[in-house]
Amino acid sequence: MANTYQTLYERSLSDPDGFWSEVADDVHWFKRWDKVLDDTNIPYYRWFTGGVTNSCYNALDLHVDRCRGEQAALIYDSPVTGTVKTFTYLELLDNVARFAGVLQANGVEKGDRVVIYMPMIPETVIAMLACARIGAVHSVVFGGFAARELATRIDDARPKLIVSASCGIEGKKVIPYKPLLDAAIEQATAKPDKTIVFQRPQVNAAMTAGRDLDWQALMKDAQPVPCTPLAATDPLYILYTSGTTGVPKGVVRDNGGHLVALKWSMKNIYGVNPGEVFWAASDVGWVVGHSYIIYAPLFMGCTTVLYEGKPVGTPDPGAFWRVISQHKVSVMFTAPTAFRAIKREDPNGEFIRKYDLQHFRTLFLAGERCDPNTLHWAREQLNVPVIDHWWQTETGWAIGANCAGLGLSEVKPGSCARPVPGYNVQVLDENNNELPAGQIGTIAIKLPLPPGCLPTLWQNDEGFRNSYLTEFPGYYNTSDAGFIDDDNYLWVMSRTDDIINVAGHRLSTGAMEEVLSAHPDVAECAVLGVADKLKGEIPLGTIVLKAGVERNDAEIIGELIQMVRNKIGPVASFKIATVVKRLPKTRSGKILRGTMKKIADGMDYKVPATIDDPVILEEITADFKQLGYPRQQS
């Protein structure tokens, strides 16, 4: 089987047209493509130009047409509300087709954008697929984001309509969404024509007359509509990811390449067959939720699980094992953070042994680098292969993985294994030269990117080029650093920019610094992503106060923590900050964030030759020790 991987990988690079043409034959097309890879406008490559398809048809209608309508398509499992509900393919199709009719009846047409600001409920899935059905471009915004963050995304996407819910539920806490939505619309320049609100029983949202519409009322008389044939190159969705300047970037996903790549990945990467139960324990607001809660499992004809809960606390550390046992999950995909939380609460795996996991055969981890200790613990407790794999919001599916469907090879804890077919991964130095095995550099992917990856940024081709393609001509810059070993295993070690990874969520330290700098007592600041045994990374704020400020440091820090929570949201996990006399800088004024991070993480570092005053590093070291850094990571 190892030879199967190598053969496919080599062919995917030497004959991409032939390789992806054969893969694309496995999906439904209203019209076959004219050209597999369109390279007439380099570096803006396009896949399957001339092809006509529809993602919703491939996710739902196709399976119903093939007499599999009674199979379970979606299992909604919500321990926070005590609800388990199953939708067959036929039932899900009926709901999606009718809500697509609602969208059309309210003026949404092909190419219009629809922002979806919703929790982990079936109606979120229905809204996304309904957009795909009629060719509207959906943009899902994670419900944990504050009004300002939502407003920036509204202004960039300029939606015709916004779909929301009255509330979300985080553990035992009910979070009303409508006040946040109202505030975001107020702040946004681009106003939607209408909003549709799903009223949950926990909160009844106040409605704005003339703008807000009730989901339940609209669905009572909704008429189903058929799928709209779409060009393979038409956009399916926009998903915003943090930019290094704090301005979100709208990653675009097309219909054709996305469909082809994701369906292929289910069998070949995850080793899943039609009819099996696949569970991605993520959120629909993130790329994992888009790709592997919704689209890929349904393209493949699997049963997918939508879980509204936590790995611990809903109600205990056995939550994941209960879901796997109850719904006969074959393959699970989650973030290492979840397993660190479970390990902390149940170090001996006692809750695992309370459940029958005989159907469970593989665990995949992604979203952040999995530390070897967590991987070993999961493998020993579950007695199944545990596979750490690596990808990004921009790629939409795995760049590096141990492909279960192509024969598992040796797992090297700390490595995401080998590049996936389609990805020509190289490690480069600053002069664009390929580095030898074992040497750390920037991980880059030689163009063209395979199908499924972003073709550009929303309404921003130049931003796409500048963000990803300029630093290493001919390559996509992942902004991750790492190396490839002698066995062609890829080791992703860290980010090369200021994006930090908090529990699998990519967040910009620049955006947090912008919030902190707005405080009247703050002169300057720096936010670092420091190692955390539970979340992978958490932000640590270093604050320099203005001269003459005599207020209590703790009081100011408390205000700063609340400001970040209000402006960015609790997802930022900004809870630790310290007041320092000054920040270490180069002579040109650049703050040495990387050096401070190494101090906080207890790593060796060299005093930069360009530092303005080396004594500052001693001061920072003393300040961090008072906070308890560096901390022992286990």
CATH number, domain containing residue 594: 3.30.300.30
pLDDT > 90? residue 42: yes
Domain membership of residue 323 (yes or no) is: no
- Tell me how far apart the alpha carbons of residues 557 and 38 are, in angstroms, rounded to a whole number: 53
Beta carbons within 10 angstroms of residue 194's beta carbon: 18
The secondary structure element, H or E, covering residue 132 is helix 122-134
315: preceding bond cis by omega (within 30 degrees):
yes
Domain membership of residue 346 (yes or no) is: no
Domain membership of residue 328 (yes or no) is: no
Half-sphere exposure of 479 (CA within 13 A, CB side): 19
Most confident of the following: 86-95, 488-497, 535-544: 86-95
CA triple 94-96-100, angle to 5 deg: 120
Residue 164 CB contacts under 8 Å (≥ 6 apart), including other chains = 116, 117, 118, 177, 178, 181, 195, 196, 197, 198
Do 163 and 268 belong to one domain? yes
- Tell me how far apart the alpha carbons of residues 565 and 274 are, in angstroms, rounded to a whole number: 42
Segment 372-388 mean pLDDT: 91
Do 237 and 134 belong to one domain? yes
Confidence of residue 1 (pLDDT cuts 50, 70, 90): very low
* Mean pLDDT of all residues belonging to the chain: 92
> Residue for token digits 């994006």?
499
Do 466 and 523 belong to one domain? no
The CATH number of the domain where 196 resides is what?
3.40.50.12780
**Amino acid letter for position 212:** D
> What secondary structure does DSSP assign to 368-422, as a single string?
SPPPHHHHHHHHHHH-S-EEE-B--TTTSS-SEE--GGG------TT---EEPTT
Tell me the pLDDT tens digit for each residue of 122-143. 999 999 999 999 999 999 998 7
pLDDT > 60? residue 314: yes
Do 137 and 221 belong to one domain? yes
- Tell me how far apart the alpha carbons of residues 462 and 456 are, in angstroms, rounded to a whole number: 9
Contact at 8 Å (CB) between 581 and 523? Answer: no
Tell me the pLDDT tens digit for each residue of 241-271. 865 445 679 999 999 999 999 999 999 999 9
Rg of the chain on CA atoms, in Å:
24
Domain membership of residue 81 (yes or no) is: yes
Domain membership of residue 151 (yes or no) is: yes
Per DSSP, the three-state class of 115 is strand
> What secondary structure does DSSP assign to 142-167, as a single string?
-TTS-HHHHHHHHHHH--SEEEEESE
Segment 509-532 mean pLDDT: 84
- pLDDT value of position 588: 46
- pLDDT value of position 365: 94
Segment 107-120 mean pLDDT: 97
pLDDT > 60? residue 609: no
Confidence of residue 10 (pLDDT cuts 50, 70, 90): very high
- Tell me how far apart the alpha carbons of residues 61 and 56 are, in angstroms, rounded to a whole number: 7
Q: Which among 446, 478, 510 is the end of a domain?
A: 478
Q: Which among 448, 478, 508 is the end of a domain?
A: 478
Domain membership of residue 375 (yes or no) is: no
Residue 14 CB contacts under 8 Å (≥ 6 apart), including other chains = none
Segment 197-208 mean pLDDT: 97
Contact at 8 Å (CB) between 123 and 312? Answer: no
Give the chain's domain count: 2
Do 403 and 519 belong to one domain? no
Tell me the pLDDT tens digit for each residue of 136-171. 999 999 876 788 889 999 999 999 999 999 999 988
Share of the chain above pLDDT 90, in %: 71
Segment 485-512 mean pLDDT: 76
- Tell me how far apart the alpha carbons of residues 90 and 60 are, in angstroms, rounded to a whole number: 8
Q: Which among 478, 513, 536 is the end of a domain?
A: 478
Do 440 and 509 belong to one domain? no
* Helix axis angle, 615-627 to 593-601, nearest 10°: 40
Beta carbons within 10 angstroms of residue 597's beta carbon: 21
DSSP-derived pairing of the beta strands 113-117 and 303-307: unpaired
pLDDT > 80? residue 493: no
Closest CA to 622 of 595, 599, 591: 599
Segment 511-524 mean pLDDT: 84
Which is more confident, 325 or 548?
325
Domain membership of residue 562 (yes or no) is: yes
Do 265 and 146 belong to one domain? yes
Domain that holds residue 250: 2-309+389-478
Alpha helices in 188-302 (DSSP H): 215-220, 256-268, 287-288, 296-300
pLDDT > 70? residue 610: no
Segment 510-519 mean pLDDT: 82
- pLDDT value of position 50: 98
Per DSSP, the three-state class of 261 is helix
pLDDT > 50? residue 634: no
Per DSSP, the three-state class of 310 is coil
Do 547 and 604 belong to one domain? yes
Helices (H) and strands (E) in the chain, counts: 20, 31
What DSSP state is assigned to residue 58? I
Q: What is the value of pTM for the model shown?
A: 0.84
Closest CA to 482 of 496, 497, 472, 468: 496
The secondary structure element, H or E, covering residue 234 is none
Which structure tokens are listed for 413? 């804890």
Do 461 and 511 belong to one domain? no
Contact at 8 Å (CB) between 490 and 419? Answer: yes
Do 460 and 505 belong to one domain? no
User: Assign residue 409 a region: left if phi > 0, alpha if psi is -120 to 50, beta otherwise?
Assistant: beta
Do 76 and 176 belong to one domain? yes
CA triple 410-504-394, angle to 5 deg: 85
Do 531 and 458 belong to one domain? no
Contact at 8 Å (CB) between 397 and 23? Answer: no
Per DSSP, the three-state class of 46 is strand
Domain membership of residue 487 (yes or no) is: no
